[in-house]
Amino acid sequence: MRRFALLFLAALAFLGAAAILLGQVLSPGRLRVHLGGNPLIAPGEVWGGDVLVIGGGLAVQGTVEGNVVVLGGPLRVGGRVGGDVVSLGGEAVLQGGSEVAGNVVALGGIRRAAAANVRGDILEGLFGRAGWVVSREDRPVSLGSRLGPALLATGAAFFLGLFLAWGLRTRWPRRSRAMVETLRRRLLSCLGLGLAGGVFLAVALPLLVLLLLVSLIGILAIPFLLLLVGLLYLLGLAVCGLALGEALVGRREGQPWLPPAVGLAVLVPLAVLPAFLLPWLGPAWAALLAGAGLGAMLLSRLGTLEAVPVRET
């Protein structure tokens, strides 16, 4: 209980410090936040601060004096943006006559009209649009068009998760065994801790993104921050897959890859496919599954507690 209290206090301290720093960057009333939907800055409308959209798209036909950040949706700029433009997970469209006074970062690709004016630098991603964002015509994509990227992501997550689980089991057998035993014996505690961590990230991640927007280096660091979070959850899913595989086929000491392969073959489709096909609910479900593994890692202190005797190789 004392450890949980310390973690809770540390999380509150971090969020408080981030909020204070954010308050130094943004004046009161300058931040406009949208969760989901497709908000519009209408022609003639002027917003004197920053705009953050999470899980939705944004169309700027008027004027935004500050920065524009869109996470997980498309961005269309037909007016003026006085700061930087960041689009992660969706395509950015700069229409003719649009103006961006700062930098443009779009990991989902950029379509820029010849008459669009960008005064800063442009960084375009190489991975294309995510499966859950809207189409170029701003209509929701069909289930069939989402299925291809979802299957590709499922395969990639399976093989990367298998590599992580195999590495844990062969390189750190004692620690991986302790994590698995912690997950098996204290499943509800692991789920609860993983859920608490997910809620913390849901609050902390947008704050960190906004803090990183104050410089070009910070903007370039945003994709790596999101990649780090994704790898962390994939590691948690690998621990869950290892535990499930050992429960189904045993430890199989001579075949260290088999238990995680069996477990991940079950868990990865259950986690990744809904994350791509069911907006909001799917990612939350995937985070809950992977969060159980992260909870086991925390409760076992990365495998240094509750370890059982395992022959080192």
- CA 169 remoteness from chain centre: 26
Tell me if 212 sits within 8 A of 219, measured CB to CB. Answer: yes
The confidence band for 99, taking pLDDT boundaries of 50, 70 and 90, is: very high
Task: Spell out the residues 6+ positions from residue 24 whose beta carbon is closer than 8 angstroms to its own.
Answer: none
Q: What is the pLDDT of residue 122?
A: 83
More confident call, 280 vs 278: 278
Q: Residues 121-137: pLDDT tens digits?
A: 887 754 444 433 333 33
pLDDT of residue 131: 36
User: Which pTM value belongs to this model?
Assistant: 0.69
Query: Residue 304, class by beta-carbon neighbours within 10 Å (0-12 exposed, 13-18 middle, 19+ buried)?
Result: exposed
26 vs 22: CA distance, rounded Å: 6
Mean pLDDT over each residue of the chain, to the nearest integer = 80
Q: In the prediction, which pLDDT does 12 show?
A: 58
Q: What pLDDT digit, counting tens, does each position of 44-80 carry?
A: 999 988 888 877 889 999 999 988 988 778 899 999 9
* Domain assignments of the chain as residue spans, ordered by start: 27-124, 143-299
| Tokens read off for 151 | 């299957």
Q: Per mean pLDDT, which range of 15-19, 39-43, 158-162, 208-212 is the poorest? A: 15-19
| Dist CA 183 CA 244 (whole Å) | 10
Q: CB-based contacts of 8: which residues, under 8 Å, 6+ apart?
A: none
- pLDDT exceeds 60 at position 262: yes
Give the pLDDT band of residue 180 (cuts 50, 70, 90).
very high
Residue 27 has pLDDT above 60, yes or no: no
Secondary structure string (H, E, C) spanning the chain? CHHHHHHHHHHHHHHHHHHHHHHHHCCCCCEEEEECCCCEECCCCEECCEEEEECCCEEECCEECCCEEEECCCEEECCEECCCEEEECCCEEECCCCEECCCEEECCCEEECCCCEECCCEEECCCCCCCCCCCCCCCCCCHHHHHHHHHHHHHHHHHHHHHHHHHHHHHCHHHHHHHHHHHHHCHHHHHHHHHHHHHHHHHHHHHHHHHHCCCHHHHHHHHHHHHHHHHHHHHHHHHHHHHHHHHHHCCCCCCCCHHHHHHHHHHHHHHHHHHHHCCCHHHHHHHHHHHHHHHHHHHCCCCCCCCCCCCCC
Kindly list the distances between the CA atom of residue 69 and the CA atoms of 42, 130, 163, in Å, as whole numbers in the listed order.
17, 16, 34
Place of tokens 């170029």: 136
pLDDT in tens, 226-239: 889 989 999 999 99
To 5 degrees, how large is the angle CA 163–CA 164–CA 165?
A: 95
What percentage of the chain carries pLDDT values higher than 90? 37
Distance CA 41, CA 31 (A): 14
Q: Is 28 within 8 Å of 50 (Cβ atoms)?
A: no
Asked whether residue 23 carries a pLDDT value surpassing 80, the answer given is no
